[in-house]
């Protein structure tokens, strides 16, 4: 069964991204492996955060990022959330 959670997760006192600490804490709370985690982000820091956690990553285009940077790192990148739903076959 695939469970989907869409939210922003942050913990006070945990090292900031790209440290994987927030991802590890989230995974511990959800009782999942970091490899089961999909991080959607709009920055290279978000991408590095996912890589450091050994999580999956999809880049999303915003007015504030260098969208092409995701492709340079062979990462999936989309224009909007609906594309993620389509890619994941949800």
DSSP E strands, the chain: 38-41, 56-60, 76-78
Query: Per-residue pLDDT averaged across 27-37, rounded?
Result: 92
Instruction: Give per-residue pLDDT as tens, 43-90.
Output: 999 999 999 999 999 999 988 887 888 989 999 999 988 998 888 876
Please state the pTM of the whole predicted model. 0.83
- State the distance between the two ends of the chain, measured CA to CA, in whole angstroms: 11
Taking the CA atoms of residue 21, residue 84, residue 87 and residue 57 in that order, the dihedral angle to the nearest 10 degrees is -20
pLDDT at 90: 65
CATH dotted code for 21-87? 3.40.50.1000
Beta-bridged to residue 76, according to DSSP, are: 58
Sorted by where each begins, the domain ranges of the chain are 21-87
Higher-confidence position of 14 and 79: 79
Retrieve residue 69's tokens.
């940077």
């Amino acid at each position: 069964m695939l469970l989907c959670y869409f939210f922003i997760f942050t913990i006070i006192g945990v090292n900031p991204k790209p440290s994987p600490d927030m991802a590890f804490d989230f995974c511990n709370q959800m009782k999942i492996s970091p490899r089961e985690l999909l991080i959607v982000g709009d920055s290279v820091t978000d991408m590095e955060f996912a890589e450091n956690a050994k999580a999956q990553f999809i880049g999303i285009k915003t007015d504030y990022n260098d969208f092409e940077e995701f492709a340079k790192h062979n990462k999936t990148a989309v224009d909007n959330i609906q594309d993620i739903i389509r890619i994941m076959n949800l």
